[in-house]
Each structure stands twice: as structure tokens, then as C-alpha cells.
A and B are shown apart, each in its own frame.
Chain A
């Protein structure tokens, strides 16, 4: 008993000493790395002004805004602005769509982007490789409204490419694309891949290019096959990048690309069971009401869910290998 209290007191004293020491150490480190700290200042300041200062605006989500009283003076209404996200028969559908599409997109885009990056990196002919690189980035450069037109050019019932030129090759009759929901999970996934993979691919390509050539040389001498090299050198060495990119994507899992889900299906009502996501739901809901509180509430809800998910997944990643974690 006595021994344990004593031990406890000792531990406490030790801990206090540790803390004091660690404070001192921290101070020393701050001094030592003051240049580095100073370097971060412009960005820290910018984020403070651009992102943190306006955050007082989250109160809007809990208010019924009247500008005659000002933002702060408006009436508090609790969670009433959030109700429309849950008290609707669509709540399940929009949450399901948003989540499922995002999960598919994250997995598919990551796998494809890595595969493409590896291939691009392996192509010996520089000019060929660079041409491919530029061209697969093209889709990322155009606005979704235009993409909507291009998809229509492909899928229009009467004038579209699919019905006029491609399906007949396979002996398939006309399909009325814009009135059958079953095609759209695929169409949206394809459009998403088409538009986004080039971008992601560039990131992974940069990661692969950064890998020290010595590893591959050593592996080649050991007689490792291409596939073995990819599995045991390339993939492990770009894991930190993959992991971070995935964590960031998880943070945005409750967000959806409005253009993809609204512009590309041309806001076709019949398709809504498979194209309605949280963002399109909110957009449609507020298009005439223009309620600031409600749109702010939607954003807060999406961010909060993403935030919790990232904290959890970051915790798990951190346990396994802190190099791959966000923070």
C-alpha cells in the first residue's frame, strides 16, 4: 500500500519533470526551427483569413436569417434547418447514393490511376508517353455543363452516337438512355472515371517518378519479374501518397460532384432514384427558397460526417504506420 503510493508519487514527480523538460525541449525546438516555423506563416495567415475567420458563419445553420437584424442578431431556431435532410422519404436514397457512388469512385479511380501511372512510367518512348499524359488530362479541363452536352451527343435517343452508330454494330436495338435508371450507375461511373482519372494519375505518376531507380536496378539484377517489381517496390513506395489521397477522399465522402449528378443526367426526373445525391437534393430543395440557413446546414452536416470518418480512419492508419497518416 505504502509502497504503491510512494511509487505513485514518484511517478507523478517524474511526469512533472518530464513535462517541464518537454516544455523546455519544445521551446528549444521552436527556437531551433524558427525559420521553418516562419516559412509556414503566409499559409497559416491565409488559411486564417480565408477559412477560419468566415467560420463564424456556421451560426447561420442554426438561425433564421434576417439581414435587417444582422447575422448575429437573427433568431435562433436550433436544428430546424437540418430537418429537411432527414425528415424526407428521400433521405435514405440520397445518403445511399452519395455513399455508394463515392466508395465505388474512390476504389475504381485509385486502382485505375495507379495502373495507368505505372504504364505511363514504363513506356520507353518519351514522346508517346508524354502525348498520352496530356491527352488523358483533357477531360479534366472542361466544365460539367459541356460534359452534359457531350454525353447527350453520345446518348440522345434519336441523334446519339450509341443508338446510331455503336449499338447497331452489336445488333442491339435503340435504348432510351434517359428514361431507364438501370444504365446510370454505370454511365455516371464511366463519366467520373473519364473526367477524373487523368488528374489522379498525374499525382501517382509524380510519386512513381520520384522512386529511386536503384531499387529497380537491384531488383532486375535479382531477376525479379515486372509484376514482382510492381508489387514489392512501386506499390509499397507510393503507399503514403495513396493512403493520404484516400483519406482526403474519405473526408469528402458525403459530398458529391454536383455537375456530375445534375448536369450530366440533364436534370432528368425519371433518373432521380439513381442520380439524386445530397448535393442535388439540397440544390433542388433550395432553388426557389434560397434559404441560407438550410444550405449552410447541409454543408455543416456533410463536413461533420466527413470529419468523423477521417478522424476514425486516420486513427487506424496511424496505428499501422504513422508515415501514411494525415496528422
Chain B
């Protein structure tokens, strides 16, 4: 009996794998990719359905846990529609559990601590290695060969480096969603003012070139702050270009290489230069006096007419995305080319929990999320005709008549989370070839030399605790220019040393060397 079931599993897995490969291949062929992806996806669906019924997969309920901003109004309807798909294809129903961002870490740690059923769970969000160290995820290497072949195929099509980058101790505990796995860095400004003052975008190549721009705004728009922070500071995400943070930023690889020699980035002259720029902008009045404490988002500040620009990480389609959010035409200019470090990949991933009642079936569900456009579009955009409608171009969608962002019952807009975003439709206003552009972007980005290295802070956790407190004390004020770096920066470095940064670096170097030796 048992043996029979196992054989059935294998058979089904093979069928699924085959169809997945088909879907994957057609997906990566150029032009109208998602269209042909869809048709073969349907073929896959039919095959899966037959396979599922033929091999008599027992019905099972899977619990899928992920983070989000709160359930949209039509969440239950989406869940029902998703269930229809999964029931037909893998004879499983899916219970979706959305957890708030802030509660995420605590809640999931708790859920995974007991025997609560969690099958598929979003992982990463900065806590991948810790969760693996706590033994809360299953290794999925074998399943990726069998039930999850479509996942593996889709990721390898992108670049085999990506799946390699998530290994811990040689095992894969999570698969990254297919999205922007790299980031470039630049400045985003209000288009109307750029035009009004004839600001030459091509002339902006470095931070120093921005001074003139900001000065123009400051002179002509006295009520406006030329630059606002993004995240916590002026440069926040830009730092990811300058160094591979190697998980926590304490002990890094400058230039994402540095011959794998770990150094304290905060001590480098390059960091000091950034601080001087921040200080200069602060003193020239390009940023607000209360920048360090402000709780307003850049969107609200720009929307209210109070601010002009921000510096952030970007990706293809960023300009359109931000314009949509702000509700004003924005223009983005790249200053630094795309890079990929382990953190870019491990930030959004999917894992199978130790508590899973049926890991194989969870993997099949994951497989669908990487191969089945019908399912992916349900997650990403909702129900056709209700939450989106096709336009003349079958791969481009828009709001149905009478629906707008404010009254839509499902506008999560988190396609980058649910598996393979590249199989989803593109929204009207975005580039129709957005996914191809993103794939290319991921491919050409400069990869960190330590790509795939994950670090375990356990041996130095006492020091990390202390250094984290020192960091919190200084970095915001320094990176917003609120304090004089010539005075405060030396104190920062001294305090870090006192807190044990050197010990952390030594430990990280040791782990990195060991990792490099295995490659």
C-alpha cells in the first residue's frame, strides 16, 4: 500500500517535472513570453490534473504563510479561486495566512516552534540563516529534483548562481522568488520640476553633480526640501552598492569583492566621503533639519509638495512604479549600476517548514507557483474581470471598468513575492517587456564574490549585540549629515572597536575562508 503511494508520487512528480520544463522553456523564449507560457501552463494543468486523479493523490490541506499589509477585502475569494486551481492540479487545498510585517519574525518563530501546521512559508526578510540555525526549515534539495523540478528549472534559467547562493552548509533551505534579484541605485525626482528648470539628466553622474540640481530647487522653490531620506537615512540602500554587507553589515566586502578580505566598511575612506557629502547637503539646506527623526515617508513628502527627490535602490520599471505610488510623474536616473549580493537573493524566499504535514505536496504547490501562470496571476493580480481586465495586448492588463486602486478588493501588488513573477501579466503603463528586462537586469548585474556565503553570528552574538547598539547610536545622525562627521565619526569607530567589531570580523573572515575553500 505504502509502496504504491510512493510510486504514484514519483510518477506524478515526473509528469509535473516534465510539464514544468516545458513551461519553463517556452517562458524564456523571447517575445510574448508569458502568453506562450500560459498556454503550456494550461497544458501542464491538464496533465497535472490527469496525473493527480490517475495516481490518486490523497486530498490534503496545505497552510501557506506569508507576510503582507493586512488582508485585502476580497482575500477569501482569491483563496477560493486559488483552491480551485490547486485542487485540480495537485488535489490540495490551500489555506492562506497573511501575517503583518512587524509581527512576522516573532509570530513565525512561534508558529514554527510548536507543532502548528505550516507547510509553505515565506522566508528570508533578513532572518534566513537564523531560522535555519534554529532548525525550523526542511532541506529541500531532494524535493527540488523531484516535485520541485519546475522551481529549479525556472531559477536555473535565470542564472544557476541564484539557487547556489541560498545554500547553507551545502543544502538548500529556501528558494528565492523570481523577481528583481539585483538592484541598481539612483535618484528619483519630480518630473515637472526637472522639466521646469531644464535639469539635464545626462549631466547627473555622481552625487556631486546633484549639488547643482538641489541648489536650483532650493533657490526657486523656497518651501521645498530638495532631498528627503529613503528608509532610515539619505544613502540607506545605496550602501548595498559599495559593499557586500555579508548579512548584517558588520564586517563587509567593499566593492563586493576585496579578494574576500572582510573589513569594517565604516572605517573606509569611501564611507567617510559619503558622510562628508551628507554633511555638505545638510549644511547647504538640501535636506530638512529634522531629517534624522522625520517619520514621514518620501511618498507623502513629495505628494504634499514638500519634497523634490530621494536616493534609493531601483530596478527596471521603478520609475513607473514610483510615479503610480506618488500620484505624480517621477523620473529616475541611475547613478550606480546593478549589483547582486547574497542579501538581494535571500530577502524574499519560500521554505518548507519543519512542521509541514506533507512536504512533498508543499513542494508541488511551490512548483505551481513557479510554473503555472493561472495560479501566479491569481496571487499577483486577483480575479480576471473583477480585479483586472485584459487589454488589447493579451499580456497587458488594467483595471476593469469602474475599479480603481482605492476601491479594488485586491490590490496587494506583491508579485515579487509569489513565486515566479515573470509568468504574470504586466500592468498597463509598465513596459510590456518588463519581465524580459528584469531577467536581463538580473543577469548582467555585478555579482558579489561572496555570493552564496551565509554567515552564522552565533559564536559572536555577544559582540553583535553590543555593536548593533553602537551602530544604532551613530549611523542615522552621521548618514543624514545631522552631525559633523569629522567629530562624530572617530567616536563611532572607537565605540565599535570597544564593542568588539574586530572579533566579529575575525569570525566572519574565518567562516568566509572556510566557505571559499569549499567552492
**Chain A residues within 8 Å of B, Cβ to Cβ:** 64-69, 71, 80, 83-84, 87-90, 149, 152, 156-159, 176, 178-179, 266-270, 272-273, 276, 281, 284-292, 294
Contact yes or no, B293 A89, CB < 8 A? no
User: Assuming the A-B contacts A269-B476, A272-B472, are A290 and B293 also in contact, with contact meaning beta carbons closer than 8 angstroms in the complex?
Assistant: no
- In the complex, which of the residues B126, B136, B290, B462 contacts A156, with contact meaning CB atoms closer than 8 Å? B290
Say whether chain A's binding surface is mostly helix, strand, loop, or mixed.
loop
User: Assuming the A-B contacts A67-B113, A67-B134, A269-B475, are A284 and B468 also in contact, with contact meaning beta carbons closer than 8 angstroms in the complex?
Assistant: yes
User: Assuming the A-B contacts A88-B499, A89-B495, are A286 and B465 also in contact, with contact meaning beta carbons closer than 8 angstroms in the complex?
Assistant: yes
In the assembled complex, the Cα of A276 lies from the Cα of B499 at a distance in Å of: 15
Contact yes or no, B469 A179, CB < 8 A? no
- In the complex, which of the residues B106, B289, B292, B469 contacts A268, with contact meaning CB atoms closer than 8 Å? B292
Which of chain B's residues have a CB closer than 8 A to the CB of A266? 293, 295
Contact yes or no, A276 B469, CB < 8 A? yes
User: Assuming the A-B contacts A179-B477, A288-B248, are A69 and B462 also in contact, with contact meaning beta carbons closer than 8 angstroms in the complex?
Assistant: no
Which of chain A's residues have a CB closer than 8 A to the CB of B135? 66-69
In whole Å, how far is B431's beta carbon from the nearest beta carbon of chain A?
35
Which of chain A's residues have a CB closer than 8 A to the CB of B105? 290
Contact yes or no, A66 B473, CB < 8 A? no
In whole Å, how far is A37's beta carbon from the nearest beta carbon of chain B?
35
In whole Å, how far is B251's beta carbon from the nearest beta carbon of chain A?
14
Contact yes or no, B295 A90, CB < 8 A? no
Q: Tell whether B261 is near chain A: CB-to-CB under 8 Å.
A: no
Q: Tell whether B354 is near chain A: CB-to-CB under 8 Å.
A: yes
- In the complex, which of the residues B109, B457, B472 contacts A269, with contact meaning CB atoms closer than 8 Å? B472
In the assembled complex, the Cα of A59 lies from the Cα of B92 at a distance in Å of: 39
Q: Tell whether B318 is near chain A: CB-to-CB under 8 Å.
A: no
Contact yes or no, B293 A285, CB < 8 A? no
Count of B interface residues, CB-CB < 8 Å: 41
User: Assuming the A-B contacts A178-B292, A269-B475, are A88 and B466 also in contact, with contact meaning beta carbons closer than 8 angstroms in the complex?
Assistant: yes
Contact yes or no, B466 A67, CB < 8 A? no
Which of chain B's residues have a CB closer than 8 A to the CB of A157? 289-290
Per the 8 Å Cβ criterion, residues 65-115 of B in contact with A are 105-106, 109, 112-113
Contact yes or no, B461 A84, CB < 8 A? yes
For A285, the closest partner residue in chain B by CB is: B465
In whole Å, how far is B141's beta carbon from the nearest beta carbon of chain A?
16
Contact yes or no, A289 B464, CB < 8 A? yes
In whole Å, how far is B375's beta carbon from the nearest beta carbon of chain A?
30
Which of chain B's residues have a CB closer than 8 A to the CB of A276? 469, 473
In the assembled complex, the Cα of A266 lies from the Cα of B113 at a distance in Å of: 32
10 contacts between A and B (CB under 8 A): A84-B466, A149-B295, A158-B290, A178-B290, A178-B293, A269-B292, A270-B473, A281-B465, A285-B468, A289-B130
**Chain B residues within 8 Å of A, Cβ to Cβ:** 105-106, 109, 112-113, 126-127, 130, 133-136, 248, 288-290, 292-293, 295, 354, 457-458, 461-462, 464-466, 468-470, 472-477, 482-483, 495, 498-499
Contact yes or no, B136 A67, CB < 8 A? yes
Contact yes or no, B476 A268, CB < 8 A? yes
In the assembled complex, the Cα of A159 lies from the Cα of B223 at a distance in Å of: 13
Which of chain A's residues have a CB closer than 8 A to the CB of B466? 84, 87-90, 285
In whole Å, how far is A229's beta carbon from the nearest beta carbon of chain B?
49
Which of chain B's residues have a CB closer than 8 A to the CB of A64? 458
In whole Å, how far is B9's beta carbon from the nearest beta carbon of chain A?
24
Contact yes or no, A152 B134, CB < 8 A? no
Which of chain A's residues have a CB closer than 8 A to the CB of B461? 84, 289, 291, 294
In whole Å, how far is A183's beta carbon from the nearest beta carbon of chain B?
14
Contact yes or no, A268 B134, CB < 8 A? no
Interface centre among B289, B472, B483 (most CB of A within 10 A): B472
Contact yes or no, B465 A289, CB < 8 A? yes
For B248, the closest partner residue in chain A by CB is: A288
Which of chain B's residues have a CB closer than 8 A to the CB of A66? 133-135
- 8 tightest A-B CB contacts, nearest first: A68-B135, A285-B465, A88-B466, A84-B465, A84-B462, A66-B135, A269-B473, A272-B473
In whole Å, how far is B346's beta carbon from the nearest beta carbon of chain A?
13
In whole Å, how far is B355's beta carbon from the nearest beta carbon of chain A?
9
Contact yes or no, B474 A269, CB < 8 A? yes
Which of chain B's residues have a CB closer than 8 A to the CB of A69? 135
In the assembled complex, the Cα of A25 lies from the Cα of B477 at a distance in Å of: 70
In the assembled complex, the Cα of A266 lies from the Cα of B289 at a distance in Å of: 15
For A149, the closest partner residue in chain B by CB is: B295
In the assembled complex, the Cα of A69 lies from the Cα of B465 at a distance in Å of: 25
Which of chain B's residues have a CB closer than 8 A to the CB of A65? 134
In whole Å, how far is A291's beta carbon from the nearest beta carbon of chain B?
6
In whole Å, how far is A299's beta carbon from the nearest beta carbon of chain B?
14
